[in-house]
A = this chain, B = another copy of it.
Amino acid sequence: MSDLLQTIRGLSKKTESKIVMVVLDGVGGLPLEPNGETELATAKTPNLDALAATSQLGQVELVGAGITPGSGPGHLSLFGYDPLHYVVGRGALSAVGIGVKLNKGDVAVRGNFATLGAGRVVEDRRAGRPSDEKNAEIVAQLKAAIPEIDGVPVEIYTESEHRFVVVFRAQGGEVLGANIGDVDPQAIGVPPLRAEAHDDASVKTAGLVNTFVDRAEAALKDDAQVNGVLFRGYSDVPHFPSFDDAYKLNAACIASYPMYKGLASLVGMDVLDVPGEEDALEGKVQVLREHWEKYDFFFFHVKKTDSTGEDGNFAAKVKKIELFDALLPDILALGPDVLCIVGDHSTPSKLSTHSWHPVPVLIRSDHGRKDLTARYTEEEAQRGSLGLRHGTDLMPLLMANALKLNKYGA
């Protein structure tokens, strides 16, 4: 356990107060022109504006200066787990997120369906983002084609859109290594990479991955759009101190997408079922309301602010921010003692990808100092009273605002 988390663990106490952490995935943005407005500043957000007027604002850097967080490290940091210390592979996250239990020795791998063109070059790293139904069909086809490789059982799970998960099940006490290079070249116009083992324990696993790629391409060769697979994020089974242990919080996750559910599950949150399609914002608020009495911490995840940013669609990201704004009164009506609005990283539409820019954070509680910020935007957050902080400072601040931390020392 890291020093800070260990300290907080020694100070945390159980109380009746309730904390809601809303993660607007990838919410931080950039202006399209120098000194222009970001997506947040462009959005019409009367409810967030009103909230900001009585809240504390600031900025968080989830991993470190200049470092662009992946979704896993970004969320771990928000949850108080220093992502340079607590490392979890995307494969393990995804597997846990869809309810797959990993056993010692197994390796879970995150895959993308891709479109390959002539000469096997990658034309689309997301195969045009197929529907979830199409994804399930392709997965069924692969399951039939690749039930095992060299005696190692292979499990294939549908995730969403272009994403799937493969679990290689170790047999007879064998431990499969997970220290393997990417198949995904993270570029188009070039062929997929061959997976390379980075240590002796991973040589067999790299062979399994490469054989999987070959047999998948053979099985999918008649599909013009979904005809290749790319892998990155191989992982064995991680271990984390739980939210209950570290914070004495009875925590619930309200999210629609597997990765975020998986991450919450890794830190010991109960993952609640959310009715509805895709982001299902209304369903999430309904679940929050129905479980309000049972938990004292809610991780409320909104995905589409990130997806629209990744698609480079400034206007769509603005719209998704406005959709969340419309729901905010329903969350406030429940009367959380501490409400936090934050992102796990920035995803500026201008860059069409995650970025290193700090994320605006808002904390509403009855225990704040005067903070004259008027809106939840990057610019306002820069002059907020919380300052610029590392992401792992957030949970201690929320716990403190909820009066859930004892004094340090006599």
Question: Which A residues form the contact surface with B (CB < 8 A)?
Answer: 3-4, 7-8, 11, 30-31, 34-38, 53-54, 59, 63-73, 83-84, 87-90, 93, 110, 232-233, 348, 350-351, 353-357, 366-372, 378-379, 382-383, 385, 387-389, 393-401, 405-410
Could you tell me the distance in whole angstroms from the C-beta of A75 to the nearest C-beta in chain B?
10
The answer to whether B400 and A67 have CB atoms under 8 Å apart is yes
Q: Which residue of B lies closest to A83 (CB)?
A: B409
Q: Which of B64, B368, B397, B408 contacts A63 (CB 8 A)?
A: B408
The answer to whether B409 and A73 have CB atoms under 8 Å apart is yes
The answer to whether A393 and B84 have CB atoms under 8 Å apart is no
The answer to whether A396 and B64 have CB atoms under 8 Å apart is yes
The answer to whether A7 and B367 have CB atoms under 8 Å apart is no
Q: Which of B59, B388, B397 contacts A66 (CB 8 A)?
A: B397
Bound-complex Cα distance A407 to B351 (A): 13
Contacts of A8 in B (CB 8 A): 66-67
- A-B CB contact pairs (8 Å), 26 listed: A3-B84, A7-B63, A8-B66, A8-B67, A30-B368, A30-B369, A35-B54, A63-B408, A63-B409, A64-B393, A64-B396, A66-B398, A66-B399, A68-B405, A68-B406, A68-B407, A68-B408, A69-B407, A73-B409, A87-B409, A93-B410, A350-B367, A356-B397, A356-B405, A370-B379, A382-B385
Q: Which residue of B lies closest to A367 (CB)?
A: B30
Q: Which 6 A-B pairs have the closest CB atoms?
A: A66-B396, A90-B410, A65-B393, A70-B409, A66-B400, A73-B409
The answer to whether B65 and A396 have CB atoms under 8 Å apart is yes
Q: Which residue of B lies closest to A70 (CB)?
A: B409
Q: Which residue of B lies closest to A74 (CB)?
A: B409
Could you tell me the distance in whole angstroms from the C-beta of A314 to the nearest C-beta in chain B?
14
Bound-complex Cα distance A406 to B73 (A): 14
The answer to whether B399 and A64 have CB atoms under 8 Å apart is no
- Contacts A36-B370, A369-B31; A89 near B405 (Cβ below 8 A): no
Bound-complex Cα distance A23 to B148 (A): 59
Contacts of A38 in B (CB 8 A): 369-370
Could you tell me the distance in whole angstroms from the C-beta of A325 to the nearest C-beta in chain B?
21
Q: Other than the known A63-B409, A68-B408, A370-B379, what 10 A-B pairs have Cβ atoms closer than 8 Å? A: A30-B369, A34-B366, A37-B370, A59-B387, A66-B396, A66-B397, A69-B407, A70-B409, A87-B409, A356-B405
Bound-complex Cα distance A295 to B399 (A): 42
Contacts of A31 in B (CB 8 A): 369-370
Contacts of A369 in B (CB 8 A): 30-31, 38, 357, 378-379, 382
Bound-complex Cα distance A73 to B408 (A): 7
The answer to whether A407 and B70 have CB atoms under 8 Å apart is yes
Bound-complex Cα distance A30 to B88 (A): 40
Bound-complex Cα distance A7 to B398 (A): 28
The answer to whether B68 and A389 have CB atoms under 8 Å apart is no
The answer to whether A409 and B72 have CB atoms under 8 Å apart is yes
Q: Which of B372, B378, B408 contacts A67 (CB 8 A)?
A: B408
